């Protein structure tokens, strides 16, 4: 990692006004104040002094409040937070599109910014013409671009449409072209705002690989709501909450965990034909137990036991049941079957039409984090009789956390060698 700081934000704060009329009045007052030669020194002091709540005027609110960080060449800063947390506002401040009310931003070198879909592109110009325009804005000469043009077009994978007006491009094609221009021209600073959510998974992976390569030569700020991408390319994370920094550091797992903590657990939902009902549930880890719709905390690698009471409609003699675990991003991470990798088949009593079903999972290796469990009851012909989502929640506690869904402790070994040599034979 280089020690050269390319991006520096010092106590950056930005306020907005909910009222359009008052916003216009405050804007005029700000312009008049800036034109006053005697206010220059005061403005400089205002930029660096701490933000105070009492400085807010009527209908104003802080979109950003006292945000500070540094990004060195070779680093990628992941900027995360829920919608409205201030991420896009911060990127616009960094890119010079809006002026902060407090604080200072220092950017060194050429800056490439993808903060909106197709930002900086003209819809009336062709893809080829837009490439030349963006290169000129980044400070590249025609000779520099000529040597890189073919690589830009090849990376974008839209050779067939390069001479077509941009207004005829799909959103994915615009992202392909925009990212290709910035990545191949290699600016010193690259700002990316959620644009990689558009397009096919193959190109997104191609972009993430390119970002990893660019980090050796530039500083990257990456805004995303997709947490696996944070673990994939970021070296540091900043979590924004209502404009303020809620977490900042290189422990990505902690930052991502706090990001998910800001969201509500959600409500339980029951779907299916209604021919089955989960009438009881108890989940146990050692001496700790939880029941239907409750949360269980368990250490990593512990045994887990789940007891279910399932009721079927009178004309169904038996059913099949399985458990499905979801992570905080609502991605399935574990499907619990029987030993034949099928849903467990159970019979019901003739009296109350119920069955008590127990399942025991030994040494569960789920990564640290929050999980929810769905109970799925099927008929013998694979009809969904009942799907009870968020039947219970589980918090796994581990000493080590990463972006993976599971952690596998393994036996490692090494043998020191006097010399290292290639196993490939020379031609």
Span 242-247, mean pLDDT?
93
What is the average pLDDT value for the chain, to the nearest integer? 85
| 75 backbone dihedrals φ, ψ, rounded to 5° | -110, 150
Q: What is the DSSP string of 75-143?
A: -EEEEE-STTSSHHHHHHHHTTSS--SEEEEEE-S-EEEE-STTTT--TTSBHHHHHHHHHHHTT--HH
Lowest mean pLDDT among 71-75, 375-379, 422-426: 422-426
Residue 280, pLDDT above cutoff 70: yes
Model confidence at 272, pLDDT cuts 50, 70, 90, reads very high
pLDDT at residue 372 in the model:
93
pLDDT at residue 197 in the model:
64
The Cβ of residue 406 has, within 10 Å, a number of other Cβ atoms equal to 11
* Closest residue by Cα to residue 173 from 133, 226, 117, 135: 117
Q: d(Cα 219, Cα 110) in Å, to the nearest integer?
A: 11
Q: 189-193 and 111-114 as β-strands: parallel, antiparallel, unpaired? A: parallel
Pick left, alpha or beta for residue 101 (phi over 0 → left; psi -120 to 50 → alpha; otherwise beta): alpha
Model confidence at 241, pLDDT cuts 50, 70, 90, reads very high
pLDDT in tens, 334-385: 999 988 888 899 999 888 899 999 999 999 999 888 899 999 999 988 899 9
Model confidence at 43, pLDDT cuts 50, 70, 90, reads low
> What is the distance of C-alpha 145 from the center of its chain?
33
Q: 332-336 and 318-326 as β-strands: parallel, antiparallel, unpaired? A: antiparallel
Span 142-163, mean pLDDT?
88
CA distances from 123 to 159, 167, 170, 175 (A): 17, 4, 11, 13
pLDDT at residue 163 in the model:
93
**Is 119 exposed, middle or buried (CB count within 10 Å of its CB: 0-12, 13-18, 19+)?**
middle
Model confidence at 386, pLDDT cuts 50, 70, 90, reads very high
325 or 111, which is more confident = 325
**Domains along the chain?**
5-261 (3.40.50.300), 269-397 (2.70.50.60)
pLDDT in tens, 179-199: 888 778 778 898 888 766 666
């Amino acid at each position: 990692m280089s020690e050269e700081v390319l991006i520096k934000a010092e106590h950056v704060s930005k306020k907005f006004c909910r009222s359009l009329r008052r916003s216009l009045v405050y804007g005029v007052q700000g312009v008049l104040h800036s034109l006053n030669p005697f206010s220059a020194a005061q403005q400089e002091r205002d930029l660096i002094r701490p933000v105070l709540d009492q400085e807010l005027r009527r209908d104003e609110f802080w979109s950003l409040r006292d945000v500070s960080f540094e990004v060195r060449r070779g680093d990628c800063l992941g900027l995360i937070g829920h919608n409205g947390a201030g991420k896009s506002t911060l990127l616009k401040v960094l890119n010079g599109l809006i002026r902060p009310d407090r604080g200072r931003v220092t950017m060194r070198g050429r800056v490439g910014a993808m903060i909106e879909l197709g930002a900086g592109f003209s819809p009336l110009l062709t893809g080829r013409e837009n490439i030349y325009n963006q290169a000129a804005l980044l400070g590249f000469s025609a000779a520099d671009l000529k040597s890189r043009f073919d690589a830009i077009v090849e990376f974008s994978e839209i050779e067939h449409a390069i001479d077509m007006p941009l207004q005829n491009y799909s959103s994915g094609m615009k992202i392909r072209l925009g990212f290709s221009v910035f990545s191949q021209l290699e600016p010193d600073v690259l700002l990316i705002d959620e644009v990689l959510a558009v397009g096919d998974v193959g190109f997104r992976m191609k972009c993430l690989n390119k970002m990893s390569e660019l980090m050796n030569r530039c500083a990257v700020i990456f805004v995303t709501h997709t947490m696996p991408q944070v673990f994939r390319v970021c070296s540091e994370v900043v979590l924004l909450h209502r404009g303020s920094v809620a977490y900042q550091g290189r422990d990505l797992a902690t930052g991502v965990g706090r990001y998910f903590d800001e969201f509500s657990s959600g409500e339980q939902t029951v779907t299916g034909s209604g021919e089955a009902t989960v009438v009881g549930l108890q989940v146990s880890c050692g001496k700790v137990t939880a029941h239907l719709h409750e949360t269980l905390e368990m250490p990593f690698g512990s045994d887990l036991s789940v007891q279910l009471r399932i009721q079927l409609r009178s004309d169904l003699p038996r059913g099949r049941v399985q458990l499905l675990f979801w992570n905080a991003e609502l991605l399935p991470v574990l499907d619990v079957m029987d030993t034949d990798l099928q849903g467990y088949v159970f019979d019901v009593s003739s009296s109350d039409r119920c069955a008590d079903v127990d399942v025991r999972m030994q040494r569960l290796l789920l990564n640290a984090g929050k999980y929810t469990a769905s109970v799925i009851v099927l008929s013998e012909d694979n009809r969904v009789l009942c799907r009870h989502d968020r039947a219970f929640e589980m918090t796994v506690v581990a000493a080590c956390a990463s972006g993976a869904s599971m952690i596998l402790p393994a036996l490692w070994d090494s043998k020191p060698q006097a010399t290292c040599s290639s196993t490939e034979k020379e031609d």
